[in-house]
Amino acid sequence: MEEQIERLADMIVHSKRVVVFTGAGISTESGIPDFRGPGGIWEKYDPADFTLQRFLSSPEARKKHWEFYLSGGFGQDVKPNLAHYAVAELFNIGKVKCVITQNVDNLHQQAGVPEDVVMELHGNMKWVKCLGCGKRTPLEEIVEWAKAENLDDPRCPECQGILKPDAVFFGESLPERVLSDATNYSSNCDLFIVIGSTLVVTPAAFMPQYAVQSGARLVIINIGSTPMDRQATMLVEARAGEFMVKVVEKVKEKTDRK
């Protein structure tokens, strides 16, 4: 592992346009379960109830959603872990140009990466949007209000519109502007670092392909294999937090020497 830490640090130091791409594996170290893994959310809930069509058309489906949120099932109190802080530190020292994430947990922003630098392909579960008037409210506020009022399908207090978490549901298109920006960053980077993603969910999984096609080096830090392993310059099978903290330390050492 020491050799891999040294090698990745060298790559980061000598790169000018680094993109970091993160998936569920970076946030499991904060206690958020992987949706698809053992003990994940899909073992407890039917994914069919999490489609946009079901959410809009079925009060019962919406109640299942709110049962999940009101019980704290998404982990509203989780905090960034060492890997999130390491990515933020690489941004702060000027090495990372953007963070593209499949996650909806807001942890990169909490760790210190500016909002306009984080490309959230699947939205952000920390916010709730009214589908009637468009008002956005922190999920935490809606949860507290719904509990106080004993509501199992809360509606917008302004217009009585349906309240939907501001994440991308099954059957819903990814935010067009975010997808366009992420594609542009991926196609113009010189180093693309994947942390904690199996790279099977599209179109998010196209991002490392765009990077490789444009000549960038690809580093994959993940427990388990991915479809892009053969195209990677380096594969690291390790816990992201411990590994990335050491990489940042090495980057700082090498940068100070220059």
Point out the residues that are catalytic: 122
For strand 191-195 and strand 136-138, is the pairing parallel, antiparallel, or unpaired? Answer: unpaired
The residue written with tokens 């594609």 in the block is 183
Cα–Cα distance for residue pair 22/13, rounded to 1 Å: 20
Question: Is residue 188 within 8 Å of 213, Cβ to Cβ?
Answer: no
Cβ within 8 Å of residue 43, ≥6 positions away: none
Q: Which three-class secondary structure state does DSSP give residue 175? A: coil
Looking at the DSSP bridge assignments, the partners of residue 221 are 195, 236
Question: Is residue 22 within 8 Å of 108, Cβ to Cβ?
Answer: yes
